[in-house]
Amino acid sequence: MRLGVLCSGGKDSLFACWRAMQKEEVACLITVVSRNPESYMFHTPNIRLAALQADAAGLPLVEVVTAGVEEAELDDLARAIGIAVADYDIEGVVSGAILSVYQAARIQRICHTLGLWCFNPLWHTDQQAYMEALVDAGFGVLVSGVFSEPFDERWLGRVIDRAAIDDLRTFARTHRISLTGEGGELETFVFDAPFFSRRIEVVDAAVSYRNFRGTYRIRNARLVEK
């Protein structure tokens, strides 16, 4: 089955992509770039770098820009998926949704309307096991945004490794964050994956941080040999 993967550039969508590759054929990545920083569905700090990730994965990218108006942005998602159907003949869509009924239900409705399969291979996954699998499989993931206590500025750009997972587990206990950042506490950017032929090297990034909220905005990056 040919599938398109909804890609935010973060760990969940690219790990879902990897799972999809092991079971079906991934034909393209699909990205919706939101102009609205408060978008529930699509905003991430480094969404424009999905093109570099697609290059690294050897996959075409379908990219659509949305104004990011709630609910209306779903029309733009449907448009992006429609382009993927027309250009890459996909029969289904993959998302990295873990717990968000808000996101999952909306994607399910779009797929139902378009007559497409919908897969959420991280849905209600064991978050501890998932984070460990991510590291063990060789994903290179850095923190590209923090949005809650107790994350300090040092987390911005930090690579997710075993030590980071241990710290996140501590925060999950002391501050009730979700281990994967599913509650919007943090966002990530994938710079390497088992299916990347080259990895992404960050050449220049801007850090912005205040009151437990901050972003690691990658201004310049390139593909390099692994």
Binding residues for other proteins, rule: CB under 8 A, are: 19-20, 23-24, 92, 94, 101, 105, 108-109, 111-112, 115-126
Q: Is 173 exposed, middle or buried (0-12, 13-18, 19+ CB in 10 A)?
A: exposed
Query: Measured from the CB atom, is 96 or 214 closer to other proteins?
Result: 96
Q: Is 8 left (phi over 0), alpha (psi -120 to 50) or beta?
A: alpha
Query: Which residue lies nearer to other proteins by CB, 103 or 144?
Result: 103
Q: In terms of Cα–Cα distance, which of 100, 144, 140 is closest to 6?
A: 100
Q: Supply the minimum distance, in Å, between the C-beta of residue 77 and other proteins.
A: 15
Minimal distance in Å, beta carbon 85 to other proteins? 14
- CB of residue 124 to other proteins, shortest distance in Å: 4
Provide the minimum distance between the beta carbon of 175 and other proteins in the complex, in angstroms, as a whole number.
23
- Of residues 109 and 154, the one with the C-beta less far from other proteins: 109
Q: Which is nearer to other proteins, 98 or 143 (CB)?
A: 98
150-157: long-range pairs with CB below 8 Å, 24+: 150/174, 150/175, 150/212, 151/185, 151/186, 151/212, 151/214, 152/209, 152/212, 153/207, 153/209, 153/214, 155/186, 155/214, 156/207, 156/209, 156/214, 156/215, 156/216, 157/202, 157/205, 157/207, 157/216
**Nearer to other proteins by C-beta: 47 or 59?**
59
Smallest distance, other proteins to C-beta of residue 107, A: 10
Beta strand spans in the chain (E) = 2-6, 25-34, 61-66, 92-94, 117-119, 140-146, 186-192, 198-210, 213-225
**Minimum CB–partner distance for residue 112 and other proteins (Å):** 6
Shortest gap between Cβ of 139 and other proteins (angstroms)? Answer: 17
Question: Hey, what are 210's tokens?
Answer: 């205040």
Of residues 121 and 145, the one with the C-beta less far from other proteins: 121
CB nearer to other proteins: give 22 or 197. 22
Tokens at 218, concatenated: 């990658």
